[in-house]
Structure 1
């Protein structure tokens, strides 16, 4: 399962391009919040799995990933996520180190951010 992690404050309409079956975590902003609310209403009575979170001063990627992991990781109620598509953040060395702490590696860098995959157990 893939999780979309949107850290781009100007993501806006691009939210409509994300696969509706994939959970998304989206940073709240003037452009993002109305689209998230629209998606919730349009998908009622079974709202899309989109979590809107408030930006903090100096985004703490590790804390955010820890929260995502609590909801979608191996100890969660459903199948654990195995990939993470990140929008609005570059795969810098500190980010790569944080991902490694959660058993993920950067599989691909993109013009919008990066895609990370879970490292299989035993590797």
Structure 2
């Protein structure tokens, strides 16, 4: 008979994801992509950096290709950063959530838009239990 571990479970390692809705984020994309996976809006300044990260093979060399690297997404014409963030949040959850990634995301950091009541609600609906403003946007955590 195997020894029982009781009801104790090992804590899941954190899985952080970023969302960048700032079309002028530029070179900072590459810095973030080395630390966690980041979803970045395509733009004149962001797209060349996104392509550089892809060419570097950063995600291909990682044990978990969704732990680092970049995924890009297009902005809709006239879309505000808040609307863009609300729209892409569900897609990020779809790719990094409990049905797609083990462990599922534990933290999503957003760059380029302030935390609004609407965005708080969007992330709470995805399971966030705490959302905190930052200088560049906000962080939502699932505890």
TM-score (norm. length: structure 2): 0.74
* 8 Å contact kept, 1:62–1:98: yes
Residue 68 (str. 1) matches residue 92 (str. 2): yes
What's 1:53 paired with?
73
What's 1:100 paired with?
124
Superposed CA deviations along residues 54-74 of structure 1, whole A, max 9, x for unmatched, are 001323433311111110000
Residue 11 (str. 1) matches residue 25 (str. 2): yes
- Gaps of at least 5 residues in structure 2 are 1-14, 62-67
Structure with a larger share of its residues in strand: 1
Residue 50 of structure 1: how far off its partner (Å): 0.9
TM-score (norm. length: structure 1): 0.85
* 8 Å contact kept, 1:96–1:105: no
Residue 107 of structure 1: how far off its partner (Å): 3.8
Larger Rg: 2
* 8 Å contact kept, 2:25–2:46: yes
Quote the RMSD (CA, aligned, Å).
2.0
* 8 Å contact kept, 2:115–2:138: yes
Q: Distance in 2 between matches of 1:35 and 1:63?
A: 23
Inter-CA distance 39–21: structure 2 relative to 1 (3 Å threshold): same
Residue 75 of structure 1: how far off its partner (Å): 0.5
